[in-house]
Amino acid sequence: MATARDLPHPEPEDLRLTQVLFALSDPARLSIVQGLVHGPQEVAACQPAGGDLPKSTLSHHIKTLREAGVIRSTPHGRQRLLELRRGDLDARFPGLLTAVLTTPDAATPDAAAPDAAAPGDVAP
């Protein structure tokens, strides 16, 4: 039974790749998602969870992730429980979360290195 504190979440079949990628494109939102990989977390309504984000900014990032279908936010006492919708995302976009959340073991050189010649450049 839905209560007044329940927030809308898109159904798995309504998830859109562009919205999910946009939600994951911000470093702060990606950090929130990485923190949820190991399980649900409670977020107090009165204080930001980890980091130096103001409460309003954190709320905006959580709303963006929820509306894109990346996380589920449910009431839990005076707090909210945030949970990564990994099953829904993996079913709709197989391998996406793994690709986005996997960090390479070693840093790779930047493809656009300053000394690299751009197409059409003439050598001195």
- The reply to whether 22 falls in a domain is yes
| Residue 95 covered by a domain | yes
CA atoms of 3 and 5, how far apart (whole Å): 5
6 domain-assigned: no
Distance (Å, whole) CA 6 – CA 78: 13
**Structure confidence by residue, pLDDT tens digits, 46-101:** 444 456 788 889 889 999 999 999 999 988 888 888 999 999 999 999 999 999 98
- Domain-located, residue 119: no
The pTM (predicted TM-score) of the whole model is 0.74
> In this structure, is residue 68 part of a structural domain?
yes
Q: Is residue 113 part of a domain?
A: no
Taking residues 101-109, what's their average pLDDT? Answer: 55
Position 50 scores a pLDDT of 52
Is the residue at 109 inside a domain?
A: no
Band of residue 15 on the pLDDT scale cut at 50, 70, 90: very high
Structure tokens at 105: 């073991």
Of the two residues 103 and 47, the one the predictor is more confident about is: 103
- Average pLDDT, stretch 98-116? 57
* CATH number, residue 27: 1.10.10.10
DSSP letter for each residue of the chain? ---TT------GGG--HHHHHHHHTSHHHHHHHHHHTTS-EEEETTS-SSSS--HHHHHHHHHHHHHHTSEEEEEETTEEEEEE-HHHHHHHSTTHHHHHHPPPSSPPPPTT-TTSPPTT----
Quick check: is 77 in a domain? yes
The residue with greater pLDDT, 76 or 119, is 76
- The residue range of the domain holding 54 is 15-101
